[in-house]
Structure 1
Amino acid sequence: MIQDATDRALVALLRTNARASTADLARQLGIARTTVVARLQRLERSGAIVGYTVRLGQDEERPRVMAHVGISVEPKRSRELVLRLQAIPELTQLYTVSGESDLIAVLRADSTARLDALLDEIGETDGVRKTTTSVVLAVRVDRA
């Protein structure tokens, strides 16, 4: 678990650059390298840090179209529907939510044509009552 301001600062630095060396992190935080190592181990053991990743920039490899899809589900069909949605490689996140929709799916597609096909596929899936889609026009803040 994140325990104090130093842990929060350490996590913030890792969010900026997950490849930063422990010596670099220690220098930026003004603490000993061994302290950084111990804190990282504790944060990993506690589940506060579950992995390190690479974030791609806006280039040809990153899907260009992102959409949030609200999905209303027929009662007692959500478990089966979630399993079917998991099989869609362009689905990057799936949330259970309150409100008009039961689920919010985040899709990343290479083109609007592919997004359209995905939306048809989701809409035609057994258990889906209704979908509502919002296409992301621009990302203003991304701290993920």
Structure 2
Amino acid sequence: MPEIRPESLDAIDRQLIGALQLNARESVAMLARQLGIARTTVTARLARLEKARIITGYGVRLSQRVVDGGLQAYVGITVQPRSGKEVVRRLAAMAQVQQLCAVSGEFDYVAWLRCESPERLDQLLDQIGSVDGVEKTTTSIILSSKIDRGEPI
């Protein structure tokens, strides 16, 4: 099977992925109706997208009220030259770090954190700031989510 690259996805693949991002539990029959294609075509496309690791899984996104007063924050992290690999390794060991992205611009990395309390967030930020190679952090606490479509393609 030839490799599928994101830029080679056709309109139906993108519509299928978009429908799943809105509701990953949608039935194959309903997806077929929405897209105007046969159920067997939907099933085959899903299998192809999964095999090519374009779709890497299906999950559950919890609402903020279920997180029970927990906090979420984004932290911009600036690191010293040649210390990125070690900083990434240390942050990977912190369970509250939900995602870490290398970015362009003001920061080297942006981390998405989830904590159970403001006190725990404060401790975690101190822990991140004390990692060898971390030069500076800037934190933004998430007040509310206005749009969440999951992972973009």
TM-score, scaled to structure 1: 0.91
The one-letter code of the counterpart of 1:139 is S
Q: CA deviation at 1:120?
A: 0.6
- In the aligned structure 2, how far is the partner of 1:42 from the partner of 1:27? 20
- Which residue of structure 1 lines up, in the alignment, with residue 48 of structure 2? 42
Tell me if structure 2 keeps the 8 A contact 1:92–1:107: yes
- Which residue of structure 2 lines up, in the alignment, with residue 94 of structure 1? 100
**Cα RMSD over matched residues?**
1.6
- In the aligned structure 1, how far is the partner of 2:144 from the partner of 2:67? 18
2:29 is aligned, of 17, 23, 27, to: 23
The correspondence of residues 26-105 of structure 1 with structure 2, limited to 5 A, is 26-61=32-67, 64-105=70-111
Q: CA deviation at 1:94?
A: 0.5
Structure 1 runs, 4 residues or longer, greater than 6 Å off: none
Indicate yes or no: 2:16 matched with 1:13. no
Unaligned runs of 5+ in 1: none
- In the aligned structure 2, how far is the partner of 1:11 from the partner of 1:65? 29
TM-score, scaled to structure 2: 0.86
Tell me if structure 2 keeps the 8 A contact 1:56–1:62: no
Compared CA separation, residues 56 and 99, structure 1 to 2 (3 A): same
- In the aligned structure 2, how far is the partner of 1:9 from the partner of 1:24? 13
Q: State, as a whole percentage, how many aligned pairs show the same letter.
A: 53
Q: CA deviation at 1:123?
A: 0.6
Unaligned runs of 5+ in 2: none
Tell me if structure 2 keeps the 8 A contact 1:63–1:109: no
Residue by residue over 1:14-68, the C-alpha shift from the partner in whole angstroms, topping out at 9 and shown as x without a partner, is 1122122212211222211101111111111222211111111233346631111
- In the aligned structure 1, how far is the partner of 2:63 from the partner of 2:139? 24
Which deviates further from its counterpart, 85-94 or 50-59?
A: 50-59
